[in-house]
């Protein structure tokens, strides 16, 4: 099931993506169920929005592919390496990633993102899947020069527009070796199986929920594979994951 958040005119709603159309839910499906109004709208007539709530946390896992950890230098993290991105960094499909004037290099980082379905605290690995609502696609955009200068990562990853999410939440996605790809203007930059995650999804949920309570709608970015690279104004970044879809954002 593909769950989308969208706008049409001044109206905001959640809907079920059904081929070239979206069927409108009566309320938020996570809290009010999957009952629809029966109203259908063409996907081409709506604006897809990032599929999160205003209260959602954006939790990220760093250096979670061995090849990316190698290209960044340093040792592999023995546990999932947690950092956060602010909600003000979130944008949706086809919205522009805006390059900050104070950075000379901004990189793309395509990632699989977990969407939490219920309150989670001190979750065990064997129960972790019970707390997943679905999955979406994320771009952990990073001002690389600022990251290297600051040592810690907060400022480099927190600029407005630095967390594209979408195009929707796929509730029936089961991680099983699907391919993640990132292309810039059609040039393939990243290509990897999500099975290559160092710390697997149950471990990530266990580790994060030991540190903080996860709420319904929270997002966890699971890490990026090797192939990160710079993006420039006028380019377009496309991230695809088999079984979920494609997230596309221009660069401005």
Interval 168-180: pLDDT, tens:
999 999 999 999 9
Distance separating alpha carbons of residues 39 and 23, to the nearest angstrom: 6
Count, in order, helices (H) and strands (E) of the chain.
4, 19
> Comparing 106 with 152, which gets the higher pLDDT?
106
Question: CATH 3.90.850.10 occupies which residues in the chain?
Answer: 58-250
Domain 2-49 has CATH 2.30.30.370: yes
Chain region(s) in the chain for CATH 2.30.30.370: 2-49
Question: SS3 for 23?
Answer: strand
pLDDT at 214 over 80: yes
Q: pTM for the complete prediction? A: 0.97
Cα(50)–Cα(138) distance, integer angstroms: 10
Q: Tell me the per-residue pLDDT of 32-74, one tens digit each, with 9 for 90 and over.
A: 999 999 999 999 999 999 999 988 999 999 999 999 988 888 7
Phi, psi of 152 (to 5 degrees): -80, 165
Angle (CA) 8 238 177, round 5°:
110
Instruction: Give CA angle at 95 (246, 50), nearest 5°.
Output: 65
Q: Tell me which architecture the domain covering 58-250 has in CATH.
A: Alpha-Beta Complex (3.90)
Comparing 63-72, 76-85, 123-132, the range with the smallest average pLDDT is 63-72
């Amino acid at each position: 099931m593909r769950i989308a958040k969208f706008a049409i005119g001044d109206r905001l709603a959640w809907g079920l993506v059904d081929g070239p159309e979206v069927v409108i839910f009566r309320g938020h499906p996570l809290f009010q169920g999957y009952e629809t109004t029966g109203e259908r709208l063409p996907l081409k007539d709506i604006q897809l929005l990032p599929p999160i709530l205003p209260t959602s946390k954006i939790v990220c896992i760093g250096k979670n592919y061995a090849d990316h950890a190698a290209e960044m230098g340093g040792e592999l993290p023995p546990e999932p390496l947690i950092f956060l991105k602010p909600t003000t960094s979130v944008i949706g499909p086809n919205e522009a990633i805006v390059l900050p004037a104070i950075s000379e290099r901004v990189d793309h980082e395509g990632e699989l993102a977990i969407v939490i379905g219920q309150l989670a605290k001190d979750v065990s690995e064997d129960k972790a899947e019970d707390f997943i609502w679905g999955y979406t696609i994320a771009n952990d955009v990073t001002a690389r020069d600022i990251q290297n200068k600051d040592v810690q990562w907060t400022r480099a990853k927190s600029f407005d527009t630095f967390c594209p999410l979408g195009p929707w939440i796929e509730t029936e996605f089961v991680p099983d070796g699907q391919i993640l790809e990132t292309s810039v203007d059609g040039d393939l930059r990243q290509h990897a199986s999500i099975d290559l995650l160092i710390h697997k999804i149950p471990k990530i949920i266990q580790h994060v929920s030991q540190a903080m309570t996860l709420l319904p709608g929270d997002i966890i970015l699971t890490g990026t594979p090797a192939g990160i690279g710079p993006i420039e104004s006028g380019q377009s970044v496309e991230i695809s994951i088999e079984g979920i879809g494609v997230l596309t954002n221009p660069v401005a």
